[in-house]
């Protein structure tokens, strides 16, 4: 017996909104019941392009949908998600979860009160390289993790580099820490504003964070939206083995030392399945709605990342105060 199609709405007709809509249209168990954008002409354009209904108001969309994907600017996440939850809609909220920790707590509380599921768009959890890496690494031998995310700023933006880039890797760090049953300790961080205010509203453009844990494991997380380099890479170091995950090019390398007292190293390219992380992420949300179960990356995961961002930002501000 075939399952009933999920009645899905989309809020936000920008770049990410269109990416989501294109993937939604490929799923046989989804019916897109409407698209809404606060700029009516943008909503009309994307609705006509993909031959889906256009909602005239956000409330109209919520009346038709049982679940919504929200792809609006970060500062609008809380308001739109609040409206959806109050209307009983399950929510897929693009990263970052919210703009502030207080907003994150608010959404977690409301999701519990209204009994809806919330998925946060930390898409790297669904990246095939990341999935193979996290299935293969020997956690009991891990000593260091390095995370590099360089994406040059190309448009005006309403959030700092911690929320626009670093949250992806902070989610992975916390996910790994859960598997290792360890907790972050004294965080150190530095960050700087580089671009003019009309481009970034005076917010941090690059940051470096060191996160030690209550074990021998520690991580360094880099997030950079200055310069011209595109880089998304994870390096995990075990006692005698190193993993290099090139997320940009979909490759995973394993380097194994052939003896504790030798310089001989065996290098291998690990086989990786080919699939779209975004499509897998959306399919997971649809399945969670159909099965009435908590998604892989829930509102609680989003809250934990926001709390860690708050700690990091506090450390950066303390460093600025010393100057």
Q: What is the per-residue pLDDT for 154?
A: 75
Q: What is the per-residue pLDDT for 205?
A: 92
Taking the C-alpha atoms of residue 100 and residue 163, their distance in angstroms, rounded to an integer, is: 10
The tens-digit pLDDT sequence of the chain (323 residues) is: 457 899 999 999 999 999 999 999 999 999 999 999 999 999 999 999 999 999 999 999 999 999 999 999 999 999 999 999 999 999 999 999 999 999 999 999 999 999 999 999 999 999 999 999 999 999 999 999 999 999 997 777 778 999 999 999 999 999 999 999 999 999 999 999 887 776 667 789 999 999 999 999 999 999 999 999 999 999 999 999 999 999 999 999 999 999 888 889 999 999 999 999 999 999 999 999 999 999 999 999 999 999 999 999 999 988 754 44
Superfamily of domain 126-275+309-321: Dihydrodipicolinate Reductase; domain 2 (3.30.360.10)
Nearest Cα neighbor of 125 from 169, 67, 69 is: 169
Q: What is the per-residue pLDDT for 323?
A: 42
**Please, what sign has the CA dihedral across residues 126, 130, 132, 134?**
negative
Q: What is the per-residue pLDDT for 322?
A: 46
Q: What is the per-residue pLDDT for 156?
A: 73
The token pair that represents 47 in the structure block: 């609705």
Residue by residue, what is the 3-state secondary structure of 191-222? EECCCCHHHHCCCCCEEEEEEEECCCCEEEEE
Sequence ranges of the chain with CATH classification 3.30.360.10: 126-275+309-321
Taking the C-alpha atoms of residue 174 and residue 302, their distance in angstroms, rounded to an integer, is: 11
Q: Which long-range CB contacts under 8 A does 282-285 form with residues at least 24 apart? A: 282/20, 282/23, 282/24, 282/27, 282/69, 282/92, 283/27, 284/119, 284/126, 285/67, 285/69, 285/90, 285/92, 285/119
Q: What is the per-residue pLDDT for 157?
A: 76
Task: Decide: 8 and 65 in contact? Cβ < 8 Å.
Answer: yes
The token pair that represents 75 in the structure block: 């500062």
DSSP H/E element including 289: helix 277-291
Task: Please state the separation of Cα 280 from the chain's center in Å.
Answer: 13
List 237's β-bridge partners, or say none: 144, 242
Sequence ranges of the chain with CATH classification 3.40.50.720: 6-124+277-297
Taking the C-alpha atoms of residue 95 and residue 21, their distance in angstroms, rounded to an integer, is: 17
Give the global pTM.
0.94
Question: Domain 6-124+277-297 is in which class?
Answer: alpha beta
């Amino acid at each position: 017996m075939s399952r009933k199609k999920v009645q899905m709405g989309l809020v936000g007709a920008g770049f990410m909104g269109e990416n989501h809509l294109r993937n939604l249209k490929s799923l046989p168990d989804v019916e897109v019941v409407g698209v809404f954008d606060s700029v009516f002409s943008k909503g009309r354009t994307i609705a006509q392009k993909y031959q889906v209904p256009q909602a005239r108001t956000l409330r109209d969309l919520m009346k038709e949908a049982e679940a919504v994907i929200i792809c609006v600017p970060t500062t609008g996440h809380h308001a739109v998600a609040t409206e959806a939850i109050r209307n009983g809609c399950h929510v897929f909220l693009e990263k970052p979860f919210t703009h502030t920790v207080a907003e994150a707590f608010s959404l977690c509380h409301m999701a519990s009160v209204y009994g809806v599921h919330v998925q946060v768009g930390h898409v790297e959890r669904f990246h095939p390289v990341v999935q193979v890496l996290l299935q293969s690494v020997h956690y009991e031998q891990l000593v260091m993790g390095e995370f590099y995310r360089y994406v040059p700023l190309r448009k005006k933006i309403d959030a700092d580099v911690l929320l626009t880039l670093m949250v992806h890797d902070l989610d992975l760090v916390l996910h790994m820490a859960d598997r290792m049953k360890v907790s972050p300790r004294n965080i150190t961080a530095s960050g700087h504003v580089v671009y003019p205010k009309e481009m970034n509203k005076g917010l941090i453009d690059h940051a470096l964070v060191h996160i030690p844990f209550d074990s021998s494991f520690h991580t360094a997380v880099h997030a950079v939206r200055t310069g011209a380099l595109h880089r998304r890479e994870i390096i995990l170091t075990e006692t005698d083995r190193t993993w290099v995950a090139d997320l940009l090019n979909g490759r995973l390398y394993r380097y194994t030392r052939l003896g504790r007292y030798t310089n001989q190293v065996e290098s291998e390219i690990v086989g990786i399945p080919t699939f779209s992380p975004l499509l897998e992420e959306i399919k997971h949300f649809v399945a969670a709605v159909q099965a009435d179960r908590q998604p892989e990356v829930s509102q609680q995961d989003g809250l934990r990342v926001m709390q860690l961002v708050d700690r990091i930002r506090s450390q950066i501000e303390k460093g600025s105060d010393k100057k």
